[in-house]
Amino acid sequence: MSHQVAAAYDQLVGSQDGSGRSPLIAPLVRLARRGSLLIATDFDGTLAPVVRDPRRARPLQMATRALAELARRTPVAVISGRDLANLAVQCPVPGVLLLGSYGLEPWMRLSPDEALPTPSAPSPGLLELAQILEELTAWLPGVQVEAKAMGVAVHYRNSPEPRRVGPTVRRMVEQLAVQDHLEIVRGKLVIEVRPPRSGNKGTAIAAILERLSPKGCVFAGDDLGDLPAMEELHRRSGDMELALAIGVLGPETNPRLEETADLCLAGPGAWAELLMQLVEALSAVSAAGRSEATAPAGR
């Protein structure tokens, strides 16, 4: 299905067919039954509701169950800006391919008896950058600097006045990024700086598509950092039967996400529900097939 055809589902996703499921499910089922549907998703704000303390973020239980079931039938990937070790702790779903640091760290597919990965240490340069940013933002209550494996993030969600503090934080970080020739990733009440040409979710999903060559792909995300993945999916839509970018909306959604996505859902709960509908539809088709196989032949 082309990008243009996929866009038409924007009007359908809220409706239901006779089975009580969204009409969007049928083309997903056809591809997933062949094991040729890549289901890719962001973590924070998409699988997991945004929380004040990122360490407490967890995917919705319905999403966890659905992803584990789907991963038994077709490729499933979680792509995040979080470090791989951090992502594995927050999203320990067996069978799901985890891409931490926008896919720059080695990819990992957890199994129930597998040990969690050892956290990757930031480079000396990133640690120095984090220290500089801590000094620059020390006078701003609630602003936190996080040194990550592949970048440094400055969070201002916990500021008493995040909307007022945001422009100040962004201006300081952007000035430093220009000075040191760093890349900037803007998100919901956070801004991140990384070494140049360090990739993004667009390069991550391109790498998965090259490796797996699925006939269809769905990607869901909620923030500006997800736009490169959506745009990459659109560029490749002519080579696939289905290429669908889903925006998962929230109170802090940037309008650019709604403009780029083929369809939009109202929060992580709606995305989890769509995933579970796909699981149920696949199970129903499998059960019907077994019934037909065991039914006595007609005379």
Q: Across the strands, what pairs with 144?
A: 155
**Does 180 qualify as catalytic in the annotation?**
no
Q: What is the DSSP string of 29-85?
A: HHHHHTT-EEEEE-SBTTTB---SSGGG----HHHHHHHHHHTTTS-EEEE-SS-HH
One DSSP character per residue, the chain reads --HHHHHGGGGTTTS--TTSS-TTHHHHHHHHHTT-EEEEE-SBTTTB---SSGGG----HHHHHHHHHHTTTS-EEEE-SS-HHHHHHH---TT-EEE-GGGTSPPEE--TTPPPPPPPPPPHHHHHHHHHHHHHHTTSTT-EEEE-SS-EEEE-TTSSSHHHHHHHHHHHHHHHHHHHT-EEEEETTEEEEE-TT---HHHHHHHHHHHH--SEEEEEE-SGGGHHHHHHHHHTGGGSSEEEEEEE--TT--HHHHHH-SEEESSHHHHHHHHHHHHHHHHHHHHHHHHHHHSPPP-
d(CA 54, CA 16): 35
Count CA atoms within 13 Å of residue 145 on its CB side. Answer: 22
Q: Find out whether 9 and 190 touch, Cβ atoms under 8 Å.
A: no
Q: Which is the catalytic residue, given 42, 222, 226, 262? A: 42
Active-site annotation, residues: 42
